[in-house]
Amino acid sequence: MTSTSLPDSLIATLPGSSYTDPEFFAQEQEHIFETMWFCVARASELAKPGAFRTVDVGRESILVTRARDNGIRAYFNVCRHRGAKLCTEETGEVKRAFQCPYHAWTYDLNGKLVAAPNLTKMPDVGRTEYGLVSVAVREWLGYVWVCLAENPPSFEEDVIGEIVARLGDVESIERYDIDNLSVGKRIVYDVKANWKLIIENFMECYHCATIHPELTEVLPDTAPRSTPNSPRCSRSSRTATPPSTTWVTARSSVTRSRASPSTARRGWTAFPGSPTTRTAATTRSPSGRRSSSISCPTT
């Protein structure tokens, strides 16, 4: 069945090769993940100067830290001397500087080259010029956002603008006091699937009543409206009050927050953080092939 023969209520998926072709995946890394603003960490994880976290964005390893002026900094996690990975740990803390484990080139928290073996005998090596390569970084809503693009798109338009487009104004999300949320637990795991399958699954809730009946009880709007009498969907329409816990997903900071007292409808809202980009470039069925399929739009 081709997309031209589908009824209006159904939408065809992308071609199977877009989920399995390594070259297609490389293009996505370069043109999507390495050009967009990407949420990589909670700012509270970088509580004081010297605290750092390394994260994978696209094909690159990025070092995020807090400097002496209490501002967030982000750099490519690569020594400028021979390209060795500067920090090999996922998280940690340094007192004043980062030192390459290979040739001991050392950089302060602002990325400046401050020491190296025989550096005094190399006056032509500029300490700022050969400092760490910076990455655009912002701190908002208690999250740290980075963009690897040489000329990053406007954060106000691409990130904050999307909030306004969806919710009407920034205050609609700021009232949840997300800045002061704390990560209760983090679970890290790799999914043997192409990243688009994860995003597609997250973006629609056509499957929620069948797979996540507990979610339709907490958030009744996720229940399919076309089958109101279904045993899976005929749950209470009230918004339940779940325990005070934190949701986390694979390499994400997904938190749950009680709405402010001024909210007309008391409930809970999930705020997705950074989805992983380390998912497999290919995913195949047991037969070795991935056939085209049909997805249904969210109702």
Q: Are 217 and 268 in contact (CB under 8 A)?
A: no
**pLDDT given for residue 186 in this prediction:** 84
Nearest to 179 by CA among 138, 143, 137: 143
Give the DSSP per-residue string, 53-84.
EEEEETTEEEEEEE-TTS-EEEEESB-TTT--
pLDDT at 189: 82
Average confidence (pLDDT) over 144-154: 96
pLDDT computed for residue 277 by the predictor: 39
- Report percent pLDDT > 90 for the chain: 51
Assigned token pair, 290: 């991935």
What are the backbone dihedrals phi and psi of residue 147, each rounded to the nearest 5 degrees, phi first? -140, 125
User: What tens digit of pLDDT does each residue of 245-264 get?
Assistant: 323 333 333 333 333 333 33
Query: How many alpha carbons lie under 13 Å from residue 257 in its C-beta half-sphere?
Result: 22
> Residue 214: pLDDT above 70?
yes
pLDDT in tens, 5-59: 889 888 888 999 999 999 999 999 999 999 999 999 999 999 999 999 999 999 9
The answer, yes or no, to whether residue 112 has pLDDT greater than 50, is: yes
- What average pLDDT does range 75-97 have in this prediction? 95
- Which of 165-169, 270-274, 291-295 is predicted with the least confidence, judged by mean pLDDT? 291-295
Of residues 128, 48, 42, 55, the one with CA closest to residue 87: 55
What is the reported pLDDT for 225? Answer: 60
The better pLDDT of the pair 265, 23 is held by: 23
Residue 182: its pLDDT value, please?
86
Q: How confident is the model over 124-143, as pLDDT tens digits? A: 988 899 999 999 999 999 99
For the segment 154-174, what is each residue's pLDDT rounded down to a tens digit? 999 999 999 999 999 999 998
Q: Element (H or E) spanning 293, and its range?
A: none
Q: Which of 77, 60, 79 is nearest to 148 (CA)?
A: 60
Give just the sign of the alpha carbon dihedral 252, 253, 258, 263. Answer: negative
Kindly tell me if the per-residue pLDDT of 213 is higher than 50.
yes
Q: If you average pLDDT over each of 116-120, 223-227, 295-299, which comes out highest?
A: 116-120
Mean pLDDT estimate for the chain: 77
Instruction: Write down the pLDDT at residue 223.
Output: 63
Q: Where is pLDDT greater, at 260 or 230?
A: 230
What would the two tokens of residue 29 be?
């890394």
Least confidently predicted of 67-71, 98-102, 113-117, 275-279: 275-279
| Interatomic CA distance for residues 135 and 145, integer angstroms | 10
CB 43 within 8 A of CB 144: yes
Residue 190: the pLDDT is 87
Element at 65 (helix H, strand E): strand 60-66
Using only C-alpha atoms, the chain has a radius of gyration, in whole angstroms, of 23
Distance CA 245, CA 210 (A): 24
Quick one: pLDDT at residue 263? 36
DSSP code, position 270: E
